């Protein structure tokens, strides 16, 4: 329809590696997301406050502020406490004591992709 504006869900991709960030961005855009890219944990937090995203994908070992630190700050923000977060890690985060301290509900990425409309509150 001419003149109609369809809402695109917003995803933040926080990943320090440009190539990996681009790959994730391409996947999310294919799935219908508008994507905001962050290169470090400080940007991830600032962009989350600014854009109020529907989804955050975040590397756990980011520079400046770690992914763990950014997630803690995001979860403390009232408007962001229910935003689904998918942690990106090349190591097993379950073996890291930081996971317990941020009280994450771990959603496997494959399950999220299958049920993304339910998680995002979309019909």
pLDDT of residue 13 exceeding 90: yes
Cα 28–Cα 91–Cα 109 angle in degrees, nearest 5: 30
What end-to-end distance do the CA atoms of the chain give, in Å? 19
Place of tokens 């998918």: 86
For the chain, which domains are there? Answer: 10-120 (3.40.50.2300)
Q: Rg of the chain over CA atoms, in angstroms?
A: 14
**Distance (Å, whole) CA 54 – CA 13:** 11
pLDDT above 60 for 92: no
Q: How far apart are CA 37 and CA 61, in angstroms?
A: 16
Specify the pTM. 0.75
- pLDDT tens for each residue of 32-53: 899 999 999 999 999 999 999 9
Q: What is the pLDDT of residue 88?
A: 80
């Amino acid at each position: 329809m001419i003149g109609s504006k369809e809402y695109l869900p917003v995803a933040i991709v926080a990943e320090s590696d440009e190539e990996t960030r681009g790959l994730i961005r391409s996947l999310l855009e294919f799935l219908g997301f508008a994507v905001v890219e962050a290169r470090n944990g400080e940007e991830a937090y600032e962009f989350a406050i600014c854009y109020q995203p529907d989804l955050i994908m975040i590397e756990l070992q980011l520079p400046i502020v770690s992914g763990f630190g950014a997630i803690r700050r995001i979860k403390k923000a009232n408007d962001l406490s229910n935003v689904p977060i998918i942690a990106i890690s090349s190591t097993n985060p379950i073996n890291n004591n930081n996971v317990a301290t941020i009280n994450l509900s771990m959603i496997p990425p494959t399950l999220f992709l299958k049920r993304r409309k339910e998680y995002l509150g979309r019909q």
